[in-house]
Amino acid sequence: MFTVKFISQFDDGTKCEHSISCPHYSVYDHGNGCSTVTVYQGFTETGGVDYEIMSDESAVEVKYSGIYYNSCYIENDTGKTINRIV
């Protein structure tokens, strides 16, 4: 199982962290400063849940109006960070 942590930091110094555990995930780098992390419920699932990762500047550039996170850290089952998306 992987632990996927999504983090947003705000101008006032506060932050929000959303953490999920999943057996399978994928990362798609759009090449414009934006990435999509998809988490799946199982190994044979084809429908996952997408989470958008981008900086505030990138969100303005691509005119993104949905919910997004500024960074994402993925840990393996021993707690070691194996992937970082910023």
Digit-by-digit pLDDT tens for the chain (86 residues) are 999 999 999 889 999 999 999 999 999 999 999 999 999 998 887 889 999 999 999 999 999 989 999 999 999 999 999 999 98
- The secondary structure element, H or E, covering residue 60 is helix 56-61
Q: Which domain holds residue 60?
A: 2-85
The CA distance from 86 to 34, in Å, is 9
Number of domains in the chain: 1
Do the beta carbons of residue 84 and residue 72 sit within 8 Å? yes
The closest alpha carbon to 53, from 65, 30, 40, 70, belongs to 70
pTM: 0.88
